[in-house]
Amino acid sequence: MTWSLATLGLTLLLVAGVSGRLTGTAVTPAMVVVAIGVLVGPLVLGDLTIGPSSETVRTLAEATLAVVLFSDASRVDLSALRRERSIPIRLLGVGLPLTIVLGALAAAALFPSLSLSGALILGVILAPTDAGLGSAVVTDPRLPQRVRQSLNVESGLNDGICVPVLLIALAAAEGTAQPVRVIIEEIGFGLLGGLLAGAAAGAVVRLGAPRRLIDEAWRPLVPIAAAILAYGIADALGGSGFIAAFIAGGLFGAIARPGAAGEMHFTEQAGALLGAVTFLVFGAVLLGPELDHLTWQLILYAVLSLTLVRMLPVALALVGTHARAPTVGLIGWFGPRGLASIVFAVIVEDAQGPGSSPVLTAAYLTVGLSVMAHGASAVPLVRRYAAWYARSGGSAEMEGGPAHEHRMRGPRAAAGGAPTRS
């Protein structure tokens, strides 16, 4: 008899029951879910016995990332982003590529048996950030709005940007002719599927809603249907469903705005639920078993990935912005690795098999360390930074500038509350 479903339901119920108490503390829901996952996994109790390369894990990972990518892209106000492009473009255009390169170099240095393509794959897996693991940073109104929104936009877009890079890196590891096919087929058909689905869903909302053709109960299902349609078109044509979901979300948000926030409420709830389940499975069947195979090289890589590999590129990206040292430190530190990195690692495991370690072990360990370190440090460091900012009188040139309020990820965001990302 298996207790997997009962364990899953009980975990979600327990976390939901104490989630209000966790707000504003050094313990986050993600920390609790991952800890429970390790406890009920094969390393300890053995209640969750799903294999790390099973179809269940792959399907859960793909569904979660597709919904999250669609949701992320739909939240970005492109007109506002163009007005405030300086910091996000620096973080995405300079910081992100440097993070990938530095992560690959660190992997090559610490894991001599790893090929250059394997090192690059690990660098890509751990490049996207997950702002929700330190949600106090992007939701606390005491912090400068420009800083909060820059981190929020970076987190929302970097996983979508990393998808084609990961696909190309995987293709390069399989053969020299593959990257060309990936660019033409995976990316090309992904773009096509995303454009078709995003335009169709946007048209349904823009044309149907004013004419009352859409029942209110069905409106929240439109984005989910669009994400499924985008993924399905791309997958049927041989393209990337993840790229399609990301493009579809961006186009849907642009066409359906300003009503997109209300329609995305259910999609963000679904993404939060899938994310919580993914973190539980991560703790039980991905992170837990790897704790038996730790080496000093793996531990050092995880620490470097969360510090030097992230913080140095951010510092270089912010040169010339007049950001003060506390701001550079805050933005550099709060680059948590979370959901996207988990899903990318599962994709790599499915493509290359369990033998792709130490890539997988390093990725899982880094995410596990990030969940704990960034979750525990968010509230106290935000408190210290807010006190410094208050003492400065909000006069700092970069930090004190006005910024448009981009909608953040989370089921409460659409309802007007402080958004979260589990």
- The predicted-structure confidence for 145-162, as pLDDT tens digits, reads as follows 888 888 888 988 898 899
* pLDDT at site 260: 62
My answer on whether omega of the bond before 88 falls inside 30° of 0, hence cis, is no
Tell me the longest C-alpha to C-alpha distance in the chain.
63
CATH fold for domain 28-150+162-391: Na+/H+ antiporter like fold (1.20.1530)
CA–CA dist 211, 192 (Å, integer): 29
Kindly state the tokens that stand for 275: 């994310």
CA–CA dist 90, 319 (Å, integer): 9
* pLDDT at site 351: 76
Sign of CA dihedral 320, 322, 326, 330: negative
DSSP-derived secondary structure letter, 54: S
- Candidates 338, 354, 288, 278; CA nearest to 53 is 354
* Burial 144-164, CB ≥16 within 10 A → b, else e: bbbbbbbbbbbbbbbbbbbbb
CA–CA dist 100, 124 (Å, integer): 5
* pLDDT at site 421: 39
* pLDDT at site 90: 94
CA–CA dist 422, 416 (Å, integer): 17
CB hemisphere CA count around 393 (13 angstroms): 1
Residue with tokens 């912090």: 143
Burial class (CB in 10 A: 0-12, 13-18, 19+), 84: buried
Please write the tens of the pLDDT for every residue from 236-269.
Answer: 998 889 999 999 999 998 888 766 666 778 888 8
pTM of the model: 0.85
Helix (H, G, I), strand (E, B) or coil at 355: helix
* pLDDT at site 396: 54
- Candidates 246, 274, 248, 249; CA nearest to 264 is 249
* pLDDT at site 81: 67
* pLDDT at site 413: 45
CA–CA dist 234, 193 (Å, integer): 5
Which residues, 6+ apart, have CB-to-CB distance to 88 below 8 Å?
A: 81, 150, 153, 154, 157
CA–CA dist 178, 176 (Å, integer): 6
My answer on whether omega of the bond before 402 falls inside 30° of 0, hence cis, is no
Please write the tens of the pLDDT for every residue from 202-225.
Answer: 999 888 878 888 888 888 899 999
DSSP-derived secondary structure letter, 185: I
Give the helix ranges, DSSP H, for 43-187. Answer: 55-75, 78-83, 86-90, 96-110, 116-125, 135-139, 145-174, 178-181
- Candidates 159, 153, 156; CA nearest to 100 is 159
* pLDDT at site 350: 79
- Candidates 42, 73, 122, 158; CA nearest to 406 is 73
- Candidates 411, 341, 409; CA nearest to 370 is 341
- Candidates 47, 40, 61, 9; CA nearest to 288 is 40
Residue numbers in the chain where pLDDT is lower than 50: 1, 411-422
